Amino acid sequence: SIPDTNVTVDLFFYDVPGASTFHQRGLQSKHYNDASIVVCVFDISSRKSFQSCAKWIQSVRSAQADFPTNEVEVILVANKVDLREDKADGDVSLAEVEDSEGECFANDNGFRYFETSVLDGYNLDT
């Protein structure tokens, strides 16, 4: 329940990185049909992780094609942004995805975009 309201929310998290079995068995449509929001988190040190977000988002939208009144909101989250920082000791940035790429992809597709770092707590509320 959401405090001070009469609203109850069902919240499900699926952590399925590279889960080809999830796709092969058609399990995604079972879980996607009623989704209102999809949060796709990618690791900025992995271009493959970033590219996979587009596939996952398309998969959700395809599964919802039969439900045009239930348009899903997409939130794209770049994680490990601490790896992009200039290192004081001269280390090279480990980022494979620049912030402008994530922002551009999100803007071009009408997604919300956030950057976070779990390591240093950047942009996270506890």
Question: CA 83 to CA 72: how far, in whole Å?
Answer: 30
Q: For residue 24, what pLDDT band results from cuts at 50, 70 and 90?
A: very low
CB atoms within 10 A of CB 106: 20
Over residues 48-90, the pLDDT tens digits come to: 989 988 888 887 777 777 666 667 788 999 999 888 865 556 6
Arithmetic mean of pLDDT, 34-57: 85
CB atoms within 10 A of CB 86: 8
**pTM for the full model?**
0.76
The tokens describing 19, both together, are 């889960």
Over residues 83-125, the pLDDT tens digits come to: 886 555 666 678 889 888 999 999 998 889 999 998 888 888 7
Which candidate, 84, 100, 82, places its Cα nearest to that of 92?
84
The tokens describing 15, both together, are 């952590």
